[in-house]
Structure 1
Amino acid sequence: MTADDVWQHPVRVFGFPSGHNEGVWATGVLRGELGNGWIQMEAVNVPGYRVEPGFSGAPVWDETLSGVVGMAVAAERQREGVKAAFMIPTKVLSQTWSVLRESGGFVPTPTSHKPSKKLSRVTKLRIESLEDDLQKLEADYKQIDQKKRRESNLQEQNNLKRQLHAIANQIDYIEQEINQLKQGETGTQTQRLMAILASVDPPTTQRIKAAYLASRPSSWSDFRPAIPTTIEQLLADLADMPPADSGYKRIDLFVAHLSADAQISPHLQQQLQDWLKQNVDDVAQLLTQIQPETKPEQFYLMVWIQPSQQQKNCYFIKAWLAIPNPSSLSGSNYDYEPISLANAEAEPFPLTQIPQLLKEILIQSSQKCAISDLTFEFFLPRQLLNHEVDRWEIEISEDLLIPLGVECSVVVRSEERLSSNYCLKKKKWQRLKRLNHYPSSKLVASGDCAWNQLYVELRKDDILGCTLAKVPQPMGKESVFNVILGTAIPLAIWVRCNLAHLNCAKELNQLLECCISELPTMIQGKRAAAFSSHPHLRGLHIGSHLSLMWEDPERVPPTIHYSTP
């Protein structure tokens, strides 16, 4: 990321100075540019580390711009008491290291327009045709606008407003194309696409973000975690990304995803398809590439962990495989096949031994489905809701242990909600099912407030879940879990430990830049990103500390009765 003025921007750098093999964070602020092109950094006047030997070569993260702005290269050592260091800014690095630009590290410099050329006869005819279309659209707009003014029915008024909005978009698009043709050029790919997307409504904006997320590389969020807030920034971001494995440009994939979205208007779909025909050789092949594979049936491994009343810190275990069956006689869309666990139901186990039972559970379930088709649902007592069950390791092959939450989706559920009282509170879950393609950010509230304020917020009909950037306390009178369980919200995401080096509220908000139905996949992706990082850095990644509560009152284990000793 490049910027001309970074004065006073707060930054952070992660390095390995002498005596700190696990690494430490240094913070500071940026100053101005020096004569050699470097930029000066200074440590802030608070206790903590400063940039020193061991930080050289580390990326410098700018908190204001939410991106890497340079590479740490030197620290002042000759003057005692001076906490200054230096970085090479990205614009200097890009001049000497072309790999960075090719890998998507920098926003390309805008290309200058070519001088206008004399218009050809074909171009003139095209302009005349477009101007005829423009006159017809203007006449339609005036006619519908007059009709709307006379209409007294509110529903019909809304229909007419939507028609006016669609016509206005078409007028804008045609005017853009006429202006480009009159300048003697058809415009660059990005300019034409920007003209198409210039005047979209808020629901379409959310679909644009969804297409962007579907088109970017899986690791892109680690490099640029923030989702662009404007169309111009979003298209520039796509242009920076390396091509997909299929060879297609990311911007082509983005347009293909968006044009195939049934939730955008037919007119916009047609404009995007026309854009593809002009810029992609084989549009049919591209659309085949972005078609989601037929999803396999989703199986659920339901693991109920119940505390023993007699043996402290020991638990009884029971498990079922929920097999999809729309005609099931169980009253739900699943058949529940019990998993046989030797002595686990009659004899309590210490918590540390439960991961060993997962191997037997997976062996039995593998006869019905692949691990990748599984979602683990852990029904937990209140005191274990904050436990890192997604980090329990499973053996993929000999001597290869992988965290469960990396290999498949893992959610937690409360055993308290297995009571008949909760099963009657399905209103919020039913609303979540209806809005599963709705932006998560519109339906999820922040839970980092007083418990009584959170209770009032979660009682609202349009709020279906909450995020917790502060570590929740599972027990106690004012525990946030009392509110979550009491209001019967089906969704909650929280951080299990304090991560002082991260803005956890911001990280959680970025997770919500997707549809509700995509949240489990997004969180699994964060867990995988944490696991793929250097072992010394995994504990610093938010993906190592995320819990997702995802309650479906229509999918519960068969009624059982424990005789706990």
Structure 2
Amino acid sequence: MESWLENKKKYLIDAIIHVYPDKTDLAIVVNFELGENLEAIAGGESLRDIVFNLVTKWAIPNGNLEQLFQACYQEKPDNSKLQELEQQYQNHEKLDKLVHILQGYFEIEKTIIFTAYESSLYQVRKLNKTKPQKVEEIINELDMPIQGNYNYIDKFVGYLSLLNTETSLSNDLEKWGKENIIDFDELIQQVKKEQRQREKQCHPCLIIAISKSGDNYVVEAWLIKNIVQYHRESFSDCEQLKIENKSEIPTDKNLSNLSKITINLIQQGLIKANKSIKQIHVLLPSELINHDFDSWKTEEDEEGEEDFCTGICEEYEVVIRCSDRLRGKSPPVFKWREKANTFKDQLKQYANSVFVLASSDNQKTLFDQVKQENIIAVKITSVFEKGEVLGKILFKSAVPLALWTRQQIPDIEEKFNRILKNEDNDISLRELPSQLKSKKAQGEKNINHLCLLWDDPDLLPPEQLLTENKL
């Protein structure tokens, strides 16, 4: 395998010719610094022939390339071509040591290393979406200039040295940083400041997805670390949660243990998200779209303490999603993506101006109202005994936003209007999940039976975790 200098041999040959246009001067350096006779080790008619032979037929075969380069650089340290090559060489040596350190811990500390990699690129979204597989690939991705005092590799080392590692990796990196990064302690302070700023802007989200598995169902869950900055192609922005080391948690057709599963997943998410979750997205197949998810609690009921356990809708912004839209190539899936993109463009619009009323006890009539091309948000006053009817209407209509109730509620339109407004003030679409949570936390009568479909196509688990058959 060629060394770094061997890969740069053409540049080195040009630099030596530039520095020693007189063959005699080059012969002196070779004699005094290397103890060799230039004519004996590198003959040739022209200066270029001599230098080419010196590098390729003597220095490289005998392992003396670095010695030759350093002899020339020490003798002519002010030469711009040799200076540039020396800087590149020193940087390569520095990064080579870094790669060697990381390789020794890579298998054990892989998650921590990738977390630091993503943190250092927090404000950069590169066109290359391929996940690095090796340490060298990570360093190559980060080896680019940055405005300011520190480059991306410096910041990567800073972030990684601050993370809690199972091994002495952070200690080794701190030592490397103090040797190779100017004002390393200042870099650490800058990285800590960035972390504090990011924590203020961080809004973690828990996705709980239920999908069909034979006659029963399975539950899967992911923690999205920050919905504000989330990108599906970013592998460390999202972490799949497990129970008893299973990523697919079984439940029966009646979802009898779903509340307990949910409590476990929420507790896991809170630990990983530093006790903070903003939203919970419940992805349900169309036949379960009317499931009473709002009855789930945030902790297990102790005997005689049922009234003291908080419901998830009171603590979190909880929205329903349609899991049938996550896979397949049916027309409703494509149409949903088109409408959902329109919904994202209108997040600053007043919610009351975007939602339209849909009301009919006849299923076909209601479907015709909801499926219209220009409609992206509906408030449905009709109540159907079978929840799957509503689920099919929402799925096939491709509508991304919907408000409805699972039970008959007096003055339902007025209730909807109170959700879509804050007192007498209009709220934006963006504020709707927070508004619904606020109303439910206040314990307004019948509000808990209101449901919000909020189907954002960008807020999904990473694509590599989804298949055609299951989530």
TM-score when normalising by structure 2: 0.48
Question: Greater strand percent: which structure?
Answer: 1
Q: Whose radius of gyration is greater, 1 or 2?
A: 2
TM-score when normalising by structure 1: 0.41
Question: Greater helix percent: which structure?
Answer: 2
Give the structure, 1 or 2, with the largest relative contact order (CA under 8 Å, sep 6 or more): 2
